[in-house]
């Protein structure tokens, strides 16, 4: 089994299972089998512990079964180390590469204890510097996803892994993501600027358009959500590909690679039409896509109060957590300021869950 960062040529296809197994080993096995049968190279999972991701007061989520607290939804998909060991062993038994995203220090250490060969950093964690520093200490390859990020955000994260094998996934943090906002002309400039393989994490509904045009535009990795059915209750199932659609995507990618690379642009234009291809290619300037602009500083990480803190309290370790803000709470300072603010005195009350801002510290 060849590590994707060591492959010469070819496209590496990642089937994002995420938490779609819902903690059921039988369903996890079915998804792994579907990934293998659909032609994927890799099955990817998410190691979720709710407290590493959001505060209990983050807000609610509308699901087919009704409105639920987002925190509770994450709690429902928490699993122990034995479950992920099962997933890793089943993935490798199926001839696939195992990959998973940690969302904090606990989940990262769990994956390291399992002997994970590499790690995926999801887009919202691109500025989770304590997590990135821990992953750097493992001295293993990483894949960094770059949705809802600016060029300087990517640069800061990539620098942490400067002397390690790494790759970068271009992404739009929207579910579903509009294909015409993918701006795939940015792939080759990103590869040149950061000196690493680049790929696409695609959240659009079309099984082929973004992955195939992305391959023609320089993508070396394609990540796409896989489900057994879009009617299943997993968080990402409504925007995932079922096995027949996933196989359609893989076959379209492989068929492109059956032709000389100099013909790829012509082939995708013949297949999808000049207008659609140009829309997906975009300008090549790395900017936040319209569909994700409102998520900046909300989907990615900032410093939040774990509990209510009174004016006059001096901040100590354990008072703050590096969390996603999401829709309800106030975004806080970037995690890069965590060590700077510890020891500082609050000038006003800081409610539980709210983001810490400079005005909370300045009189």
What is the C-alpha separation between 88 and 277, in angstroms, rounded? 37
DSSP tag of 75: H
The pLDDT value recorded for residue 15 is 98
| Beta strand 97-102 pairing with 66-69 | unpaired
The pLDDT value recorded for residue 2 is 46
Query: Of 145, 90, 80, 142, nearest to 113 (Cα)?
Result: 80
pLDDT band, residue 68 (cuts 50/70/90): confident
In CATH, the architecture of 297-363 is Alpha-Beta Complex (3.90)
Locate the domains of the chain by residue range.
4-291, 297-363
Mean pLDDT of the chain: 94
Q: Where are the alpha helices (DSSP H) in the chain?
A: 25-37, 70-76, 81-93, 105-113, 129-138, 151-160, 187-194, 209-216, 243-257, 264-272, 274-281, 338-341
For the stretch 298-314, pLDDT in tens is 999 999 999 999 999 99
- Residues 6+ away with beta carbon under 8 Å from 166: 5, 141, 142, 143, 144, 158, 196
- In contact, 127 and 156? CB cutoff 8 Å: yes
**Are 4-291 and 297-363 the same fold in CATH?**
no
> Which CATH code for domain 4-291?
3.20.20.70
What is the C-alpha separation between 135 and 265, in angstroms, rounded? 37
Is pLDDT above 70 for 9? no
């Amino acid at each position: 089994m060849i590590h994707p960062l060591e492959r010469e040529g070819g496209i590496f296809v990642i089937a994002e299972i995420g938490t779609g197994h819902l903690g059921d080993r039988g369903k996890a096995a079915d998804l792994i089998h579907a990934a293998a049968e659909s032609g994927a190279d890799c099955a990817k999972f998410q190691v979720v512990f709710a407290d590493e991701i959001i505060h209990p007061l983050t807000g609610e989520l509308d699901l087919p079964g009704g409105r639920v607290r987002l925190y509770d939804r994450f709690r429902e998909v928490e699993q122990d180390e034995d479950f992920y060991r099962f997933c890793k062993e089943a993935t490798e038994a199926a001839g696939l590469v195992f990959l998973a995203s940690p969302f904090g220090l606990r989940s990262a250490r769990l994956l390291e204890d399992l002997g994970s060969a590499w790690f995926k950093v999801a887009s919202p964690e691109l500025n989770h510097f304590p997590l990135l520093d821990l992953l750097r200490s493992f001295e293993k390859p990483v894949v960094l996803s770059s949705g809802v990020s600016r060029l300087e955000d990517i640069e800061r994260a990539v620098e942490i892994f400067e002397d390690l094998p790494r790759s970068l996934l271009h992404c739009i943090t929207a579910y579903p993501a509009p294909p015409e906002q993918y701006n795939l002309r940015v792939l080759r400039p990103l590869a040149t600027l950061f000196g690493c393989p680049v790929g696409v994490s695609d959240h659009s509904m079309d099984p082929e358009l973004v992955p195939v045009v992305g391959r023609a535009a320089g993508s070396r990795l394609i990540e796409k959500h896989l489900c057994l059915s879009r009617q299943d209750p997993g968080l990402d199932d409504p925007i995932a590909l079922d096995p027949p659609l996933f196989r359609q995507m893989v076959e379209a990618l492989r068929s492109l690679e059956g032709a000389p690379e100099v013909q790829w642009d012509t082939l995708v234009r013949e297949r999808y039409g000049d207008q659609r291809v140009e829309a997906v290619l975009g300008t090549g300037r790395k900017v936040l896509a319209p569909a994700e602009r409102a998520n900046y500083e909300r989907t990615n990480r900032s410093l939040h109060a774990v509990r209510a803190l009174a004016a006059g309290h001096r901040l100590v370790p354990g008072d703050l957590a590096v969390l996603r803000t999401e829709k309800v709470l106030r975004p806080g300072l970037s995690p890069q300021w965590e060590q700077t603010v510890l020891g500082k005195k609050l000038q006003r009350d800081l409610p539980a869950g709210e983001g810490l801002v400079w005005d909370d510290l300045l009189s």
